[in-house]
Structure 1
């Protein structure tokens, strides 16, 4: 793609839709739009054709900050030096022995 085409391309937006059944928004896909209002309208037309949504979020892709999958351990592995994260020193009543 030429530099000229890249400069003239509308920004990329990520689309999230909340279904009637759920409380959380799910990522549906991406689209290019000139502004947030256009992105919402296009998201409605493309991702909620059967009236399956109750709410739509559009977020500029450039504004999303994500963790690096290569640094997974830093974010998701338990830290041994933080014992309060491990419930080993809690005593549960016998009625809760299934936990």
Structure 2
């Protein structure tokens, strides 16, 4: 299954939108063996969006499971770095909790 992030816009910035997309991702991960995150046409995502959409997935699954069930397509360096930073922050938060 592919989730096309460009359907949500070219600049993704709010926690509310991140939560909406995360719920779609969570449902897809239950049904599908592999979920592709297609960022074609997306120019920017905020840290808030990345944390809400991707970081909070780590509250219900381990990073290894997330990596094995997902892949990214056409994400810019900026988008990749923003998501990686949000995931690292969330992992650190979980380790110290």
TM-score, structure 1 normalization: 0.23
Q: Point out the structure with the larger strand share.
A: 1
Q: Point out the structure with the larger helix share.
A: 2
Say which structure, 1 or 2, has more relative contact order (CA 8 Å, 6+ apart).
2
Which has the higher Rg, Structure 1 or Structure 2? Answer: 1
TM-score, structure 2 normalization: 0.24
